Amino acid sequence: MKQYFKNIQFKEAIFCFILLCFFSACEENKETIEEKGRIVQNFNKNWSFQLGDHPEAKKDSIDLSDWRRLDVPHDWSIEGEFNEDHPTKPEGGALPAGIGWYRKTFEVPESWNNRNVFISFDGVYRNSEIWINGKYLGKRPFGYISFQYELTPYLKFGESNVIAVKVDNSAQPNSRWYTGSGIYRNVHLVAKSSVHIDHWGTSVATPFVSKDSARVSFKVTIKNSLDSLKKIQLKNVVVDQSGKKVASLKEYLQLSATDSINIGQNFTISSPKLWSPESPYLYSIETSIYQNGKLLDNVKTPLGIREFHFDAEKGFFLNGKHTKIKGVCLHHDNGALGAALNIHALERKLKLLKEMGTNAIRMAHNPPSPEMLELTDKMGFIVQDEAFDVWKKGKIKEDYQTIWDKWYEKDLKAMLYRDRNHPSVMMWSIGNEIREQFDSTGVNMTKELVAIVKSVDTKRPVTSALTENIPEKNFVWQSGALDLLGFNYKHEAYEDLPNRFPDQKFISSESVSGLMSRGSYDMPSDERRNWPPAHGEDFDGNDDYTVSAYDQVSAYWGSTHEETWKTVKKLDHMAGMFVWTGFDYLGEPIPYPYPARSSYFGIIDLAGFPKDVYYMYQSEWTYKDVLHIFPHWNWKKGETIDVWAYYNNADEVELFLNGRSLGIKSKKGDDLHVAWSVQYEPGTLKAISRKDGEVVLEKTIETAKEPAQIELKPDKNEMKSDKNDLVFVTVNILDKAGVLAPKANNLVKFEVSGGGKIVGVDNGYQASLESFKASQRKAFNGKCLVIIQSNGKKELVKLTARSEGLNSTSINIQIKE
């Protein structure tokens, strides 16, 4: 018995010691006792949708039996049929618009009763109106802006709630390109403490940067929605890419009742790793608010440490290094997916541009999605963030002019506050080819818009894409407010710009407008063409609505790719250029009328297949070895065919036809390619590039026989079972020997089973009226594309492709959790 009590006493002593240690540890680390801070929930799943006007959707209970169930992001326009008579017109993609309603029933837990709850929309096109439990929250007309509403006063905690969204895209035409329709970007539900960091309430800048140290200036806005004084602790921690803490600051604060305060802090980072397109190193600042050791709210702010500036004589400098901006303009659509956001589609697009050597993107002509800027931060692109295509003077009947007076300041500030912390963003653009350039109203409007930008951010230059390069005719320039002059086209005047605009800084904000269809070629290749030669003029185009993929055709206001790059390349005062465009996009099908329904401007076609000029840029914009010869080698015997070669890192290229040398060519002066005129005969065309007599690269093109088989090439062999991940499968039509059949247009039918579904098909042909949402597609010049998306099932995905007269084929895609 005595031993029993000894054991009991010993156990009690151990228990007390453990308890003492526990409380001691808690006391020592009181500030790190973390309960849940900010709660951010993905709100994309399980919406009901119906086309047409359905005002009854605002009610708590309605019959939804004939409504569709779907997840957002969603674009209903891309699901429609092409028709010249749609009010969007071919310029808007010749797809339907109209009105649609979304509705969702959801519960919020009883435990949220002491929180402030918000709904956040990253983008709704267009004229969104929103109700929660029958209560009207508001309207946001601009389709490209992010916004949020507070739901707290109207929520039923622990019970069902109904949110209804009306999207009205019926006023047409309202855009010069395809917009899409619907809740086409992400939606989140956000629950914050009553004391919290304000919406877009952090701001970071790097006012001093060197190899040895960097000074980081950080500001945060904190709100108290309670009617009582609150004492809190603010804690900011800078962490590097591996998660290691490199700096931190704490501060004790008092918030008055229903008030907000702005707090500024400065950090010094020793031996910082600098952000650049070549090495996009990202830190982050973790901001937390505590009260008595309890975590109230927390956010993470991206931090890229870099120094940049524009110089009137030498162009652009990044981290002290002279850097040419080698950029492209991009619209927001994702081809067969329409406007509906998918981060995997964006990532594929940016990877292709990165491999080409692109280091910059102009977001034309509207604010991009938040995910796009997250990727440009992560992957390393310099960004020009653009607010508007028009101001008060519109370009078409129903564009932004209709809402300018009421919304321009709110929309501009929303873009600035949302995007100001992205290290990739290095220029703010307040407009594109604005009509106010041409009259005196442009002076004060420019001053006002620049002042709005400077009220939010003074660290980045403000620009506008200008078309008028005669100073006395340009009233936007005459405002004197712009930090950086962006000029569109007219490359022949770039050399003289410093004389016309002394002491100004310059960039080619939009250039080229070259026209091409992938894999289509017109002879002779050196015949320069403007299609059309002037606005509204007829021209002798191709019956099949194609444009030659030789760099020989542009819109009348533009130039070829080589013409513009040669100019920008040699002029130090030009900071760089943004090519119109990196990818083909839906709408604006210049030079052709319907059935053309997407652009010809892209360096890469709508399906994501590079056109030949891609390799010209790759040979100029990268250090990797490049040798690309074209066209294909299937012609009529005896025809004279122009063979071009883009190459770099070599002195010469020798061309062979069926083993016979056709001569050695070298670039002279500012040449960007070499060319041969060759009498066609079937067989093998081979090019060899050499440096100092040593072989650098060899490339061959072979004559294809009749199409015989299908090749499926996925961009990856596995995907997540998250109902979001995508696999892009390139479909090639080959002959028996495995050579691409460059003129094949076989109809390919697809079947998919297991954990995937078909969400898009395409072939890059700008005048195809086939549906993007079908399970089949004709090849165009030997290629088409099928896009597979996870359906949530954890099953092996099997894709089978069949075509009459060809051997069918299948591939498997693994599913990972």
Of the candidates 433, 468, 562, 563, the residue annotated as catalytic is: 433
CB 471 within 8 A of CB 478: yes
Total number of residues shown for the chain: 817
Pick from 170, 233, 185, 621: which is nearest to 397 by CA? Answer: 170
693: left (phi over 0), alpha (psi -120 to 50) or beta: left
Q: Supply 146's token pair.
A: 């992010």
Q: How far apart are the first and last CA of the chain?
A: 57
- Give the bridge partners for 132, in sequence order: 135, 163
CA distance 331 to 345: 13
**What is the token pair recorded at 39?**
């709660």
d(CA 776, CA 295): 53
Cα–Cα distances (Å) from 562 to 248, 489, 552, in that order, read 50, 13, 9
Query: CA-CA distances (angstroms) from residue 630 to 49, 306, 551, 613, 701?
Result: 48, 41, 12, 10, 8
How far lies 275's CA from each of 318, 348, 422, 423, 507, in Å?
Answer: 9, 22, 11, 8, 22
Please give the Cα distance from 777 to 663 (Å, whole number): 41
CA 787 to mean position of chain CA atoms: 18
User: How far apart (Å, rounded) are the C-alpha atoms in residues 772 and 76?
Assistant: 12
d(CA 655, CA 528): 25
Question: Which residue in the block uniquely carries the two structure tokens 């006012």?
Answer: 207
Active-site residue among 129, 468, 510, 620?
510
Whether the CB-CB separation of 128 and 201 falls below 8 Å is answered with: no
CB 142 within 8 A of CB 330: no
- Spatial CA neighbour of 352 closest among 99, 622, 587: 622
Supply 403's token pair.
Answer: 């809402």
630/644 Cα distance (integer angstroms): 6
27 is known as an active-site residue = no
Tell me how far apart the alpha carbons of residues 191 and 76 are, in angstroms, rounded to a whole number: 30
Alpha-carbon distance of 197 to 212, in angstroms, equals: 32
Beta bridge partner(s), residue 813: 797
398 included as an active-site residue: no
Dihedral pair phi/psi, residue 775, rounded to 5°: -110, 25
b/e sequence 530-567, b meaning 16+ C-beta within 10 Å:
bbbeeeeeeeebeeebbbbbbbbbbbeebbbbbbbbbb
State the CB neighbour count (10 A cutoff) for residue 134: 11
Instruction: State how far the Cα of 498 lies from the Cα of 413, in Å rounded to an integer.
Output: 32
Active site residues: 433, 510
